Amino acid sequence: MKPESLLFAKTHEWVAVAEEGGQKIATVGLSKFAVEALTDLVFIELPKVGRQVAVGESFCEVESVKAVSDVYAPVAGEVIAANDKLADKLELLSNDPYGEGWVARIKITDETGLKSLMDHAAYQKQCAEESH
Amino acid sequence: MRNTRDTKLLFELSEAGRRAHRLPACDVPERTAKELLPASSLAAAPPALPELSEPQVVRHFANLSQLNMSVDTHFYPLGSCTMKYNPKRNERAARMPGIADVHPYQPESTLQGMLQLLYEMQEYLQEISGLPACSLQPAAGAHGELTALWVAAAYFRDRSEKRTKVLVPDSAHGTNPASASMAGFQTVTVKTLASGAVDMDDFRRLLDDEIAVFMITNPNTVGVFEPNMKAIADAVHARGGLVYLDGANMNAILGIARPGDFGADMQHYNPHKTFSGPHGGGGPGAGPICVAEKLAPYLPTPVVVKVKSLEPRVKSQKDGSTASPALDSPLLTLDYDRPKSIGRVRAFFGNVGVLVRAYCYIRTHGPDGLKRVSENAVLNANYLLSKVKHFLPVPQGDRCMHEFVATAGKLKSEKGVSAMDIAKRLLDYGFHAPTVYFPLSVKESIMIEPTETESKEMLDAFAETLFRVIGEDAELLHEAPHSTAISRPDDVRAARQPMLTYSSKE
């Protein structure tokens, strides 16, 4: 996926929303900026399929050589899939954060969270501010 | 000169049949293990042990020890760790036979000296914290946190109050949320501002009647004394909650500010930081706690108390020994009659050897000396800050307590040089690296704590070296250190594919 087509949360998660059978499904991952800031990743604890998440709720953890960081749900809903491939191939997160490195898919139950997400340009601006 | 021969693995140095001893001929009939033990108790093969002479073993370990850095060999400005010099007299005191050789099962009448030391230690710690009750039992700072949270839980249970949450600022040591979780509480994270202070808006938003404890480190990890400490404590108390002071940074405020006076209801000490206990090595450590009067009944059992006579206890001793009470001084005993206590958290009186060193340190300095310890720790940190800020920005400002956090963020984005590169390169110049990448609230953070035991000359030399390192070629820094036995271990592989056993390379 091209990052320009994605929405971003303040906390550095990206979201791609698609309609599937009348349901809005969000694919969620970590931005390239976030993955680079985390440095060398060693472990990911993926969310359980079936879990209900609220906007801003920590639903996944990534561990780097520096620290453990929370991944926050950018939308509210039910986790319908987690990217099991990451467990063994964590480098997918760094090599292809917007594609094969996706983290989870969430069936959106409440769309209010989508409104506070920003587009790529706004997110780029936030990153530029954070990195100096 | 580095000796690479004798620092090989002992297994690699091993030669079949080599021995460090020679035993005389056996003067009793020899019998094999097979004759004496059932088959189920016998190993299939003898254990694989290296076979070496004594000098080989001594050289091996003596050379390994020289590959390391320590406060005894190098300046060690590892922020958050208070790597001050530990006076050797502490070690001598802890090794005195009257202290090292006593046994906790001796009759109390013969332990009066040790009990007096522990009793006085309780009193000193209470005085320094401004909190009137103490337990010396916890085996480490984090254990002290856990113990204090158990005490808090027992207090609320006793009052039939259901409180489930513990508030922790995001700049706290990782042990705070871990202790809260182990004590059965849910951790709620409070944001901090760029200045390092608690975000009061976020704090007020999160404070409710379910908050049991607010855990705060003050001065905090960026070396700032919390500007709203009193307001925070008052707000927590107004809601019926308790304030916990993480005593990691007590080195900045000894004899100057008492946690009990600025609103803490409980605190732990890290004697290895503040009172020159031994650092590292995985322990043993000590993490004594002090608490407010209302929490005293819940402290671990036993505590050392003064009594008029040991009679009732002596009578019950089977060996019939009797106390020889000194007429003019009160006697000391261990008080087990504490029905509300959370019970024991550690065998006997805790790790007494560490407490003896801390006791010796406190007695050596006295009240005025301890105050000067903190004054000089703060002065040294501010002096270094005033030098470092010109080439590595310090976001918190121009003043600090015992430590400060500089950032290599600009250096990283402009030159590609990271905090890690700088830290590694400092080793080449004979300085232990400062703490890097903690706290996470500051990008490319370099956390420097010089402590009070360093001279102005040393601080000048460190600042000059740091300045020089920053001006060096980026490639040289990426590959540093160049002078150590091992340069950069593969952190990722070590975490993902750890090798937990070692053996000789075939």
Cross-chain Cβ contact A131/B409 below 8 Å: yes
Q: Are B81 and B270 in contact (CB under 8 A)?
A: no
Q: What is the pLDDT of residue B505?
A: 52
* Residue B325 C-alpha from the chain's centroid: 38
**H/E stretch holding B145:** helix B141-158
Q: Are B265 and B295 in contact (CB under 8 A)?
A: yes
B374-423 pLDDT per residue, tens: 999 999 999 999 999 999 999 988 999 999 999 999 999 999 999 999 99
Cross-chain Cβ contact B413/A43 below 8 Å: no
**DSSP assignment letter at B279:** P
Q: Which residue has the higher pLDDT, B83 or A37?
A: B83
State the nearest Cα–Cα gap between A88 and chain B, in angstroms.
10
Give yes or no for residue B149 having a pLDDT over 60. Answer: yes
A71-113 pLDDT per residue, tens: 999 999 999 999 999 988 999 999 999 999 999 999 999 888 8
Report the residue from A65, A130, A131 with minimal CB separation from B492.
Answer: A65
Chain A residues 44-63 with CB within 8 Å of chain B: 63
pLDDT averaged over every residue in chain B: 92
Domains annotated for chain B, with CATH where assigned, are 88-359 (3.40.640.10), 368-493 (3.90.1150.10)
Nearest residue of B to residue A44 by CA position? Answer: B496
Cross-chain Cβ contact B409/A132 below 8 Å: yes
Choose the weakest-confidence range: A123-127, B305-309, B318-322. B318-322
Q: Residue type at B215? A: M
Give yes or no for residue B68 having a pLDDT over 50. Answer: yes
Q: What percent of chain A has pLDDT over 90?
A: 67
Q: Is A40 on the interface with B (CB under 8 A)?
A: yes
Q: Are A72 and A56 in contact (CB under 8 A)?
A: yes
Handedness of CA B67, B388, A38, B188 (dihedral sign): positive
State the nearest Cα–Cα gap between A7 and chain B, in angstroms.
25
Give yes or no for residue A22 having a pLDDT over 90. Answer: no
* Residue B289 C-alpha from the chain's centroid: 13
Residue B325: band (very low, low, confident or very high) from pLDDT cuts 50, 70, 90: very low
Measured CA to CA in angstroms, residue B356 lies from B89, B137, B331, B444, B451 at distances of 11, 13, 20, 39, 22
CATH of A3-123, one of 1.10.3720.10, 2.60.120.10, 3.30.200.20, 2.40.50.100: 2.40.50.100
Nearest residue of B to residue A63 by CA position? Answer: B495
Residues with Cβ within 8 Å of B175's Cβ and at least 6 positions away in sequence, in order, are B141, B142, B145
How would you classify the pairing of strands B445-448 and B404-407? antiparallel
The ipTM value here is 0.70
Measured CA to CA in angstroms, residue B190 lies from A87, B170, B197, B229, B429 at distances of 30, 6, 11, 14, 39
Cross-chain Cβ contact A66/B437 below 8 Å: yes
Q: What is the pLDDT of residue B121?
A: 97
Q: What is the pLDDT of residue B311?
A: 56
Q: Are B139 and B272 in contact (CB under 8 A)?
A: no
Chain A residue numbers touching B438 (CB-CB < 8 A): 67
Q: What is the pLDDT of residue B313?
A: 45
Distance (Å, rounded) from C-alpha B50 to C-alpha B90? 36
Q: What is the pLDDT of residue B195?
A: 80
Chain B residue numbers touching A40 (CB-CB < 8 A): 491-492
Give yes or no for residue B177 having a pLDDT over 60. Answer: yes
Chain A residue numbers touching B495 (CB-CB < 8 A): 42-43, 63, 65
What is the residue whose two structure tokens read 């994605």?
A: A6
Q: Residue type at B396? A: Q
Residue closest to B267 by CA, chosen among B283, B278, B253, B281: B253
Report the residue from B413, B440, B492 with minimal CB separation from A67.
Answer: B440
